[in-house]
Structure 1
Amino acid sequence: MMGRRPTIVRGSGLVLLGFLIFSTACSASGKAGWSSARHGVRRTVLLGRSVHGRPIVAVELGNPHAAQRVLVVGCVHGDEPAGVPVANALAAQAGPTNTDLWVVPSFNPDGMAARTRGNAHGVDLNRNFPAGWRPIDSRGSVHYSGPGPLSEPESRYAADLIRRIRPTIGIWFHQQMAVIDDSEGPKDVERRFARDVGLPLRTLTRYPGSITGWENTVVRDSAFVVELPAGRLPARAVRRYAGAVRRITGP
């Protein structure tokens, strides 16, 4: 439900994260699993479950009291999964000192499993948010916007997280145009990120019902899209993108 608080799952680390993402058998303890690491908090949060019951998790790293709150999402469209290794790499690192970093490897685990753009209902989650939402196509179309805004559980969990943490910067990975979208969001951050990863800035079309469009109504000029190249990212590129995020979050 939209008002439900996320569940904090015991433990942390990349192994647990991968288990939570790809296993349908996991369950939440409902209790906080805080780390006393010198870099601050590390916790894995079960945000909810997909249409088919797969867990959707976030990892919080760093300083939960920091003024800068950065949200990184690896995958929204299930057939565009190249950002997931970047998110996993970030989740495995020590937390930043002066930033509250939230990492969500995927908001669409069903689509990833099926290798489809939409979720298990065939809804394009990036057309399912309230800002400018309108009916687009019908079920079976890859751009189907759903029966109404936030009709999908995955969309509701994303919206709930954004409302709760109010990210000052949101980075949403997609594929496969190999550009940084500067149509909305923080211009200075976009320019720096583009320079660090070696992608051009380009103004892309703003689509009705997009996630970043809606996030920017919650926190003005906070969210932008990174369009990764097609295919899997080489390990060197994963490190480059993760490093670009960490230059935003600081040490």
Structure 2
Amino acid sequence: MTRTTRIRSAAAALVAAIMIGLPTLSGASAELAADAVAASPQRPAVIGVRVIGHSVNGRSIYAYRAGERGADTTVVVMAAMHGNELAAQRIVQTLRDGYPISGVDLWLIPTYNRDGAIRHDRQNARGVDLNRNYPRHWRPLTGNYYSGPRPASEPETRAMMRFLDRIDPNYVVSFHQPLRGLDIRDAKEPRFGRLLAENMRLPLRHLDCGGVCHGTMTQWFNARHEGFAVTVELGYSPSVRYLTKVAPRGLLRTIGAARHPPLS
């Protein structure tokens, strides 16, 4: 079997699994299928989909690729790292399910914490706060911020680390709730942060997490990569218009991307 045939077979299997909810590909097969899934009429913006890993309970974590391969700027946008902070899923889904996007290589992760989102719990299925589990300034935290038995102990954490290391994006936008603001604490690129806050109509804030900001994804990424990861906090109950119009447009404007409605 040729590599092209393997790619096509893997892609077909991945599409079928996604459509009917079966367990999806892993390992080498997932890598072969990574960018082989063509856009569908239902999701014209999507040019590929990748299973970046699995949750504690075996649920696939999907990253949808939109925009243009080979664009000068690569951006990862993720939501639902905490399973009780789900509003931003609408932003990511709007980007994924709308018109084709140009000007950026864009990866969209609507639900990072698959097990927590099912239960509407902050933590994953083992009770670990994924945003305290990264191997940067990790501390043995307990309670609501339980950081796990060791750094990167959780499969979701390791999956995201591998994915970000492979993609090596220029920007990572991580959505949370409910503090409403864009975190500029120790910002590597203040200009990008200010522009994103302005375009998304959010205030700039120093978010100290009440002293428990240890082992976060943005800390790890900003120390390891040249790119810039930023936390964007939505409010308690953003409006549907904000989630489906204002925020997606503001994000695209900030990263130099545009949508292209079909010609009539």
TM range (shorter): 0.7 to 0.9
For residues 24 and 202 of structure 2, what CA distance do their matches in structure 1 show? 39
Change (3 A) 1:10 1:100: farther
Q: Normalising by the residue count of structure 1, what TM-score does the alignment of the two structures yield?
A: 0.84
Tell me the residue number matched to 2:60: 55
Tell me the residue number matched to 1:248: 254
Change (3 A) 1:120 1:24: farther
Tell me the residue number matched to 2:4: none
SS in 2 for 1:102: strand
Tell me the residue number matched to 2:228: 222
Q: Normalising by the residue count of structure 2, what TM-score does the alignment of the two structures yield?
A: 0.80
Tell me the residue number matched to 2:120: 115
SS in 1 for 2:198: helix
- Of 188-197 and 151-160, more deviation after overlay is shown by 188-197
Contact 1:70 1:100 (C-alpha < 8 Å) held by counterparts = yes
For residues 11 and 194 of structure 1, what CA distance do their matches in structure 2 show? 40
SS in 2 for 1:177: coil
Q: Which of 178, 181, 184 is residue 179 of structure 1 equivalent to?
A: 181
For residues 233 and 164 of structure 2, what CA distance do their matches in structure 1 show? 21
User: Comparing both structures, which one devotes a greater share of its residues to helix?
Assistant: 2
Bigger Rg over Cα: 2
- Structure 2 unaligned blocks of 5 or more: 1-9, 259-264
Alignment of 1:118-157 (within 5 A): 118-137=123-142, 141-157=143-159
- Report Cα offsets for 1:48-95 as digits up to 9, x if no partner: 221112111000112221221111001100011111111111111344
Code of the residue aligned with 2:22 in structure 1: it is: A
For residues 40 and 197 of structure 1, what CA distance do their matches in structure 2 show? 21
- Structure 1 unaligned blocks of 5 or more: 1-7
Q: 1:192: how far off?
A: 1.3
Tell me the residue number matched to 1:79: 84
Task: State the aligned residue count.
Answer: 233
Give every structure 1 segment of 4 or more consecutive aligned residues whose post-TM-superposition deviation is greater than 2 Å: 8-12, 23-32, 34-37, 93-98, 218-221
CA RMSD after TM alignment: 2.6
Code of the residue aligned with 1:215 in structure 2: it is: F
